[in-house]
C-alpha cells in the first residue's frame, strides 16, 4: 500500500506530497513540529503534544492553522489511511509560503500544515533497549530557545552524525559550564549511587519533553526520588544508570558515554522498570 501524507487540506500519495518552493519552513526553518508515538493504532499523548505545539506557535507568533479538534481529526485520519499500527506520526506547521523576506509575510498568509507517518518495529526497539545505547558528548551550539520545538535543527543534525560516526546512537549537548543540557533528539537522565533519578530542570536550554513528563508521572507514582537539577558529564560517568527519553524511544537505557561504561555497562533496573511502566501512564487516543 502506498503511503499517504496530509498537505494543506489534502490527503495525497506520499511520493507526490510537496510544498511551495518559497515556503518559509523550506527557506528559513520558520516553523515548528511534533512527533507522536503510535501504539496499536492509537496516538500516544496527543493532548500534551498539541499543547506544546500551541505554545511553540505562540512563541513564534505563528497562528494555529486550525482548531485543535480539527488537528485531532487530521492526525487520526492520516494514521488510519496509512493503516499504521506501531510507529510515529509527524506534524509540521510553518509560517506559510510568501515572497522571500526575512520579516514576517503579509497578514493573512496561511500556515502550511504537513502530516506524515512512519512505521517502527516494536521488537527492534525492545532489542535495542535490551542492549542499551552509547552516547557521545558535544559542545552546546544551539540557539537560546530550544524550549520551542523549532524545525531549525542543523546543530542536532551535526551532533547526530557525529554520534553515528563514533558508533553511538545519540549525542548529549554540554554547555559552557560543563553541564549536560539534553540529547540531540531526547532528554537526558542519570540515576545516582544514592538512587536519585536526575534530569535538568525545564527552561530555555531544553525541550519540555512529553516523554519526560510521562516518566516524571511514573516516578511520582512509584515514590522514587526525583531531582530536577543540572548534572555534569563526570557525574553521569559515575552514575549507576543513565537513559534518554523521547517519543520514538520511550525510555532508552544508556550504557556508554564517550566510550566509557555507565555503571556495569548494561541497562539498569530503574531504566528498565520505567520503560515497562511507560504506557501505563501515557494517554492513548
Containing structural domain, residue 231:
125-281
Of 56, 86, 120, which one is at a domain's C-terminal end?
120
**Residue 191 shares a structural domain with residue 213:** yes
**Residue 175 shares a structural domain with residue 277:** yes
**Residue 147 shares a structural domain with residue 254:** yes
Number of domains in the chain: 2
Task: Give, for all 285 residues of the chain, the pLDDT tens digit.
Answer: 469 999 999 999 999 999 999 999 999 999 999 999 999 999 999 999 999 999 999 999 999 999 999 999 999 999 999 999 999 999 999 999 999 999 999 999 999 999 999 999 999 999 999 999 999 999 999 999 999 999 999 999 999 999 999 999 999 999 999 999 999 999 999 999 999 999 999 999 999 999 999 999 999 999 999 999 999 999 999 999 999 999 999 999 999 999 999 999 999 999 999 999 999 999 999
CATH of the domain at 232: 3.20.10.10
Distance, CA of 126 to CA of 248 (rounded, Å): 12
**Residue 102 shares a structural domain with residue 136:** no
Count Cβ atoms below 10 Å from residue 174 Cβ, excluding itself: 17
Marked catalytic residue, from 48, 95, 149, 275: 149
**Residue 239 shares a structural domain with residue 108:** no
CATH of the domain at 116: 3.30.470.10
Pairing of the two strands 10-13 and 4-7? antiparallel
**Residue 191 shares a structural domain with residue 62:** no
**Residue 78 shares a structural domain with residue 219:** no
**Residue 180 shares a structural domain with residue 253:** yes
**Residue 268 shares a structural domain with residue 179:** yes
Query: Any residues with CB less than 8 A from the CB of 165 and at least 6 apart, and which?
Result: none
Count Cβ atoms below 10 Å from residue 142 Cβ, excluding itself: 18
**Residue 133 shares a structural domain with residue 116:** no
Query: 90 and 104 in contact (C-beta within 8 Å)?
Result: no
**Residue 144 shares a structural domain with residue 202:** yes
**Residue 2: what pLDDT?**
65
Of 120, 136, 166, which one is at a domain's C-terminal end?
120
Global pTM value: 0.95
DSSP 16: G
**Residue 143 shares a structural domain with residue 244:** yes
Active site residue 149: yes
Pairing of the two strands 180-183 and 187-191? unpaired
Distance, CA of 113 to CA of 34 (rounded, Å): 12
Of 71, 86, 120, which one is at a domain's C-terminal end?
120
Candidates 204, 212, 203; CA nearest to 185 is 212
Amino acid at each position: 500500500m502506498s503511503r499517504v501524507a496530509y498537505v494543506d487540506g489534502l490527503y495525497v500519495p506520499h511520493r507526490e506530497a510537496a510544498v511551495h518552493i518559497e515556503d518559509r519552513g523550506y527557506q528559513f526553518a520558520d516553523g515548528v513540529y511534533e512527533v507522536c508515538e503510535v501504539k496499536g493504532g492509537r496516538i500516544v499523548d496527543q493532548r500534551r503534544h498539541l499543547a506544546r505545539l500551541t505554545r511553540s506557535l505562540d512563541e513564534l507568533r505563528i497562528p494555529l492553522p486550525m482548531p485543535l479538534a480539527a488537528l485531532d481529526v487530521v492526525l487520526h485520519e492520516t494514521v488510519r489511511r496509512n493503516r499504521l499500527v506501531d510507529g510515529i506520526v509527524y506534524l509540521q506547521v510553518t509560517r506559510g509560503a510568501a515572497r522571500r523576506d526575512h520579516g514576517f509575510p503579509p497578514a493573512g498568509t496561511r500556515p502550511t500544515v504537513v502530516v506524515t507517518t512512519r512505521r517502527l518495529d516494536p521488537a527492534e526497539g525492545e532489542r535495542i533497549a535490551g542492549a542499551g545505547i552509547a552516547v557521545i558528548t558535544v559542545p552546546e551550539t544551539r540557539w537560546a530557545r530550544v524550549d520551542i520545538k523549532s524545525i531549525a535543527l542543523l546543530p542536532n543534525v551535526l551532533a547526530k552524525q557525529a554520534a553515528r560516526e563514533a558508533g553511538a546512537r545519540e549525542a548529549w549537548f554540554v554547555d559552557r559550564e560543563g553541564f549536560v543540557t539534553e540529547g540531540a533528539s531526547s532528554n537526558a537522565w542519570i540515576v545516582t549511587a544514592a538512587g536519585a533519578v536526575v534530569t535538568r530542570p525545564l527552561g530555555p536550554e531544553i525541550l519540555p519533553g512529553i516523554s519526560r513528563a510521562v516518566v516524571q508521572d511514573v516516578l511520582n507514582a512509584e515514590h522514587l526520588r526525583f531531582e530536577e537539577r543540572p548534572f555534569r558529564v563526570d557525574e553521569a560517568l559515575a552514575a549507576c544508570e543513565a537513559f534518554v527519553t523521547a517519543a520514538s524511544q520511550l525510555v532508552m537505557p544508556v550504557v556508554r558515554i564517550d566510550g566509557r561504561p555507565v555503571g556495569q555497562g548494561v541497562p539498569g533496573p530503574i531504566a528498565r522498570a520505567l520503560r515497562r511502566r511507560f504506557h501505563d501512564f501515557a494517554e492513548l487516543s
